[in-house]
């Protein structure tokens, strides 16, 4: 059996595994796709101490660092179920069952897609999901934010300070963001808010050049010329494979304490799959380290 088994091979899982292995304990990683969201990232400019890198390059360094510690990496394996008996048992999609004294869940999250024509085609070519990450790429340009909840309105406020103009498209008849955020948004001179807007398609040639939406009242179609579209309709944690033994928020995020412990003793969690306030590489690596140290504390007490 493992001392620490990590589920998920993104920055949180890699960091957790390295911290665990450095304690000299038997450590494994099960990952559906080693690298996680970082593999899908073009330019990374906020991984502190590295001025600029690319996702696949950072993943290669993560992998090299992990391999340096003799950690068992089981890539392209999806976890299906976990159960606590005398040990924690993790069942994989392929039927195998792995046993461990402690477990760290770091299965990350995925951006909810809007699912209109152009979204997939122009990903990283004008279609973006993370304003903290990609906002500066649109300096001086015109962008849209799809979604008028807290994350959409926060994104619009953030972007308004960088880009030339922001159009916020909300499907419902009013924004759902907190009042203070809405007030701030409406005070900005370079933001237009359009409600009752159903996005139809994102247009472009080699990159985005506009967005088409219909007014849900009049059914009229409108087109706005712009260079970027930020989709802000939610981040979904990859936690649907868990049962009630792991307590989660109503959004499905795993609830952790300051040691990274979940509601099931011996099971820890880190990164974007948890209820952490912000989702960033540097933050998920920090919480991975916390979960590994939490797991180590648990092991020496049990």
Q: Is 253 in the site for ligand FAD (CB under 6 A)?
A: no
Active site residue 133: yes
* CB nearer to ligand FAD: pick between 31 and 185: 31
User: Are the CB atoms for 145 and 168 separated by under 8 Å?
Assistant: yes
* CB nearer to ligand FAD: pick between 52 and 172: 52
Continuous segment of H or E residues that includes residue 155: helix 150-160
Q: Is 147 in the site for ligand FAD (CB under 6 A)?
A: no
Q: Is 71 in the site for ligand FAD (CB under 6 A)?
A: no
User: Are the CB atoms for 17 and 29 separated by under 8 Å?
Assistant: yes
Residue among 201, 212, 214, 241 that touches ligand FAD (CB under 6 A) = 241
Using the rule CB under 6 A, give the single segment among 104-112, 151-159, 166-174, 247-255 that binds ligand FAD.
Answer: 104-112
Q: Is 281 in the site for ligand FAD (CB under 6 A)?
A: yes
Residue among 79, 98, 116, 197 that touches ligand FAD (CB under 6 A) = 79
Q: C-alpha angle with apex 55: 259 to 237, nearest 5 degrees?
A: 45
Min separation Cβ 294 and ligand FAD, Å:
16
Pull the structure tokens for residue 75. 């890539």
Q: Is 129 in the site for ligand FAD (CB under 6 A)?
A: yes
Q: What is the DSSP letter of 36?
A: G
User: Are the CB atoms for 5 and 102 separated by under 8 Å?
Assistant: yes
Active site residue 215: no
Q: Is 33 in the site for ligand FAD (CB under 6 A)?
A: yes
Strands 165-169 and 191-194: parallel
* CB nearer to ligand FAD: pick between 182 and 290: 290
* CB nearer to ligand FAD: pick between 133 and 188: 133
User: Are the CB atoms for 41 and 123 separated by under 8 Å?
Assistant: no
Taking alpha carbons only, the member of 212, 217, 159, 211 closest to residue 188 is 159
Task: Tell me the C-alpha to C-alpha distance, in Å, between residue 23 and each of 6, 30, 106, 140, 296.
Answer: 15, 19, 19, 49, 8
* CB nearer to ligand FAD: pick between 25 and 42: 42
Active site residue 273: no
Beta bridge partners of residue 198, listed in sequence order? 214
Using the rule CB under 6 A, give the single segment among 26-34, 112-120, 205-213, 293-301 that binds ligand FAD.
Answer: 26-34
Q: Is 260 in the site for ligand FAD (CB under 6 A)?
A: no
Alpha-carbon gap, residue 28 to 74, rounded angstroms: 8
Catalytic residue among 133, 215, 275, 297: 133
Taking alpha carbons only, the member of 244, 253, 296 closest to residue 106 is 253
Backbone dihedral region for residue 260 (phi beyond 0: left; psi -120 to 50: alpha; all else: beta):
left
Q: Is 102 in the site for ligand FAD (CB under 6 A)?
A: no
Q: Is 280 in the site for ligand FAD (CB under 6 A)?
A: yes
3-class secondary structure, 14 = helix
Contact residues: ligand FAD, CB under 6 A: 7-13, 30-34, 36-38, 40-41, 44, 46, 78-79, 106-109, 111, 129-130, 133, 238, 241, 271-272, 279-282, 284
Kindly list the catalytic residues: 130, 133-134
């Amino acid at each position: 059996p493992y001392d620490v088994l990590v589920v998920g091979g993104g920055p949180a899982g890699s960091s957790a595994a390295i911290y665990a292995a450095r304690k000299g304990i038997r450590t494994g990683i099960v990952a559906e796709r080693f690298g996680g969201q970082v593999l899908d990232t073009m330019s990374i400019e906020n991984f502190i101490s590295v001025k600029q890198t690319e996702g696949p390059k950072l993943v290669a360094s993560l992998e090299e660092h992990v391999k340096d510690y003799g950690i068992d990496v089981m890539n392209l394996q999806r976890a299906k179920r976990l159960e606590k008996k005398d040990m924690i048992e993790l069942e994989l999609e392929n039927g195998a069952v792995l046993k461990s004294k402690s477990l760290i869940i770091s299965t990350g999250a995925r951006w909810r897609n809007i699912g209109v024509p152009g979204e997939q085609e122009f990903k990283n070519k004008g279609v973006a999901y993370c304003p903290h990450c990609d906002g500066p790429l649109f300096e001086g340009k015109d962008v849209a934010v799809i979604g008028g909840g807290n994350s959409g309105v926060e994104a619009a406020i953030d972007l308004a300070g960088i880009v030339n103009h922001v159009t916020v498209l909300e499907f419902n008849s009013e924004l759902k963001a907190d009042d203070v955020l809405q007030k701030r948004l409406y005070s900005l001179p370079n933001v237009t808010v359009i409600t009752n807007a159903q996005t139809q398609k994102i247009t472009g040639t080699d990159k985005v050049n506009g967005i088409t939406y219909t007014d849900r009242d009049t059914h009229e179609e409108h087109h706005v010329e712009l260079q970027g579209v930020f989709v802000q309709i939610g981040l979904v944690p990859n936690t649907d494979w868990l049962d009630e033994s792991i307590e989660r928020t109503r959004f499905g995020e795993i609830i952790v304490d300051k040691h990274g412990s979940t509601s099931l003793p011996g099971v820890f969690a880190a990164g974007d799959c948890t209820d952490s306030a912000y989702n960033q590489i540097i933050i998920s690596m920090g919480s991975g380290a916390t979960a590994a140290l939490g797991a180590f504390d648990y092991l020496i007490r049990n």
